[in-house]
Amino acid sequence: MKQKKVSRRGFFKLLGTAGVVGVGATVSGCSNESAGGKGWMPSQYNVPANWPVQVKGRIPIDSNNVSIERDDAKCILCGQCLEVCRNVMSVYGYYELPVKKEVVCINCGQCTLWCPTGAITERQDTAKVLAALDNPAVHVLVQTAPATRVSLGEEFGLPPGSIVQGKQVAALKALGFDAVLDTCFGADLTIMEEASELLERVKQPEHSLPQFTSCCPGWVKFVEYYYPDLMPHLSSCKSPQQMFGAVAKTYYAAKKQISPENIVSVAVMPCTAKKFECQRPEMNAAGVEAKLPAVRDVDIVITTRELAQLLKKRGIDMNGLASAEYDSILGETSGAGIIFGVTGGVMEAAVRTAYHLSTAQDPPDSLLTWNPVRGLQGVKEATADIPGLGTVRVAVCHGLKNARELLAAVREKKAPWQFIEFMACPGGCIGGGGQPRTSLPPTDEVRKARIANLYKLDTALPAKRSSYQNQEIRQVYQEWLKEPLSEEAEALLHTRFVDRSNQLTAKR
């Protein structure tokens, strides 16, 4: 008799239909909480499915999603992706059915960290990187985000949070990149602009307060979907990745005497939403300046996991390499740029520089270890006394379900804060959707290990804890941008946002 193959999903459907309670949940390692009847099936993206309670369903993923993809053969409909998308990110279940124009997704990739079978992954872009590296006609540079230096080692058997900054640089050079540079430079640039914008808003009450951070692309898209009326609160600053990309194809290109169309700009990120961000139509400032609008500021984004795959594919043993230094220019960082990778880090970095911009003095020690904004509490509040500004009240939030509490207060005009940091992913970038799957689902123990070592790298730069102390930042302003918020800086480093609320009907 001819045997018929049964897929994993079909197998668990069969067990569920037979009434074998909790099998799908138990085998997959997921929680046993019943949540059936509300999942989304492959051909049912416009109505809730009606499956047995043991089969919980899954989030919808558009085939055109630039950040994540799913292997249907591996999906067991365990519902873990639903859990994180609904209960941590507050995206799934927060809009009415049927969908209107697109499958709603903020591209954060948290589902890739919770999927027990690896069915959901980042969309692979490693082939594009290899093609660029094998093309002698182009100059291929790479920037690395702060969070990758305390997570990449986990893909090579090292304990969570291990600092591999120098080995990561060496590995990238071994891959053949023409320049290995640091996104932390872009973070320092972001702080110079964002802190200057904050001072301007606080001193001119007609501007929208509180100011929201804008460096997290998942968070930005969330606001565009659900809170377009609050978009004026978003800082106009691009993220560090995109500021770096714009400067790389203008200032760096001029310094190196390379035409921007002959540069391939690669970013190694802890975040799947960065793949979406680099493809936003407006992220071509360098191309516009060069009258080559098709030139993108950042060409390719790969995750921490993808970098590990590349190294293994090329037979590069990162652990066996001697540490190397970032190249110059665009390779210098301050401690403030490094802590961008943790929840509260953007706020702490911004207030350090805001203090200096307001007083022309270095910030006090209390702002160099600003404990009220540190840690994994979902929402944190703090105050900073800054001469010339007075008492600045701030809030810090990570996980977008937590964000809804703060946004409700802002909508109701009951927000006491002047500045709020939002990060989509729990823990900030160190817990991003492109990070190693060291624990399943992600744990605070892993997050804390990564966070602790980013703060350690910050304190390892005692003479350079703040962004304004980065000498390459001073140089780029002197030679190219003039000053924060200048006409040149506005053209390259600032952006606009898109009202996406017509793509869905948000639940009230």
Residues tagged active-site: 194, 197, 215, 235, 274, 277, 282, 429
Q: What's the sign of the alpha-carbon dihedral 301, 306, 312, 316?
A: positive
Q: How far apart are CA 201 and CA 233, in angstroms?
A: 10
- Chain-centroid distance of CA 297 in Å reads 17
Q: How far apart are CA 341 and CA 454, in angstroms?
A: 8
> Which residue's structure tokens are 């900073």?
384
DSSP count for the chain of H helices, then E strands: 20, 10
Q: What's the sign of the alpha-carbon dihedral 459, 190, 194, 482?
A: positive
> Which residue's structure tokens are 């995206």?
91
Largest CA distance in the chain: 85
Q: Which residues contact 288 (CB under 8 A, 6 or more apart)?
A: 491
How does 116-146 read in b/e, with b if 16+ C-beta sit within 10 Å? Answer: beebbbbbebbeebeebbeeeebbbbbbbbb
Residues across the chain: 508
Runs of H (alpha helix) within 134-235: 165-175, 183-203, 217-226
> Which residue's structure tokens are 């897929």?
7
DSSP of 58-79: -----TT-SSEEE-TTT---B-
By C-alpha distance, which of 409, 402, 449 is closest to 430?
Answer: 449
Determine if the peptide bond prior to 146 is cis (ω within 30°). Answer: no
Q: How far apart are CA 28 and CA 67, in angstroms?
A: 24
The answer to whether the CB of 140 falls within 8 A of the CB of 264 is yes
The answer to whether the CB of 301 falls within 8 A of the CB of 267 is yes
How does 431-466 read in b/e, with b if 16+ C-beta sit within 10 Å? Answer: bbbbbbbbeebbeeebbbbbbebbbebbeebeebbb
